[in-house]
Amino acid sequence: MRAVRLEAIGAIALHEVDKPVSGPEDVLVKIEACGVCGTDRHLFRGEFPCTPPVTLGHEFSGIVEAVGSAVSGIAVGDRVTGDPNIACGRCAHCHAGRVNLCSNLRAIGIHRDGGFADYVVMPQRQAFLLPAGLKPTHGAFCEPLACCLHGVDLAAIRPGASVAVLGGGVIGLLVVQLAKLAGAATIILSTRQASRRVLAEELGATATIDPGAGDPVEAVRGPAGIMPGGVDVVLECAGVRDTVEQSMRIAKAGGTVVIVGVVPQGMKVAVEPFDLLFRELKVLGSFLNPYTHGRAAQLIASGAVEIDRLISRQVSLEEAPQVIANPPAPGEVKVLVVSG
């Protein structure tokens, strides 16, 4: 079969490899679609630890082609999405129910072979059923949506709440939709590209901000801002210093800030502890998708989240190495690698 292999840092190519063999507790899945994520580009550039040689791709879905002897509840021909993050189930964090913090966490498409290939093998417990009638491309969004669900869960958005989302990539645009589903009355998205601001307003943002046109903090919480005094909840979805610093200032007193964006390791940001204390802000990190993949699959299956307009391009496995090795094109939200 074909597989996009990261051979070493900076070396990625399509290779012919053996089709994987499923063990007794595994399912073998014929890939229909697999999303390109910023993490794939980080892995290529050596900015995120992994163990090459490995087949990349951790946002995948497809059709079950074979099941191991111990597998039940999933059959050949079923459409499934894979939760790539495999927790050990034995460490102290797993025992405490904090599987995303597992000391031995291993991810499909990072530590073991992933979905930029004709087939992937995964333990049955990582596989979640999707409806037969679902568009094949939609299944690839379960993984990013599951990460967003965890962030929105932590944010505890209540009906009527005011929410600001900083960063309008695929994560920010999914979070906007989840905030709407959670009942937020005001949803403000800040992102630099105009096309994304337009899309965000179509997807549920009640206002958008161009961070290049003035101070976003003032634009939200200033006396003439959209929400004078600040918003109940801020979800930082850009992973850059500016937005992290803005997030704590845009929240209103007693508000909650959830950091979803991955700021490069080692980078420091300016925080005013007096402000955190005096305005009693809650600042939380949101990491991966603990127990949210199944819900993400159900949400995708329900059609409640708009997916088609987040897909900028569909490419073949042959084109995938080039896409991963280069930065995203302007305006691009999500590139999918599709079988064919």
In the complex, which residues of this chain contact ligand NAP (CB under 6 A)?
A: 38, 144, 147, 166-172, 190-193, 196, 211, 237-240, 242-243, 260-262, 286-288
CB of 196 to ligand NAP, least distance (A): 5
How far apart CA 184 and CA 200 sit, in angstroms, is: 14
Binding string, 75-94, against Zn ion, x = CB under 5 A? ------------xx--x--x
CB of 259 to ligand NAP, least distance (A): 8
Binding of Zn ion by 14 (CB under 5 A): no
- Nearest alpha carbon to residue 285 among 265, 260, 262: 260
- Nearest alpha carbon to residue 260 among 161, 160, 128, 168: 168
Phi, psi for 290 (deg, rounded to 5): -60, 115
- Name which of 87 and 163 has its Cβ closer to Zn ion: 87
The C-alpha torsion from 151 through 143 and 43 to 327, rounded to 10°, is -90
CB of 177 to ligand NAP, least distance (A): 13
CB of 72 to ligand NAP, least distance (A): 30
Check if the beta carbon of residue 175 is closer than 8 Å to that of residue 235: yes
Q: Which does 317 bind (CB under 5 to 8 A by kind): ligand NAP, Zn ion, none?
A: none
- Nearest alpha carbon to residue 80 among 95, 63, 65, 104: 63
CB of 217 to ligand NAP, least distance (A): 11
Residue 273 exposure: Cα atoms within 13 Å on the Cβ side: 0
> Residues in the chain, how many?
340
- Name which of 51 and 195 has its Cβ closer to Zn ion: 51
CB of 194 to ligand NAP, least distance (A): 8
- Name which of 162 and 208 has its Cβ closer to ligand NAP: 208
- Name 27's Cβ contacts closer than 8 Å, sequence gap at least 6: 64, 66, 67, 68, 71, 74, 80, 121, 122, 123, 124, 127
Q: Which does 190 bind (CB under 5 to 8 A by kind): ligand NAP, Zn ion, none?
A: ligand NAP
- Name which of 85 and 292 has its Cβ closer to Zn ion: 85
Query: What residue ranges bind Zn ion (CB under 5 A)?
Result: 87-88, 91, 94, 102
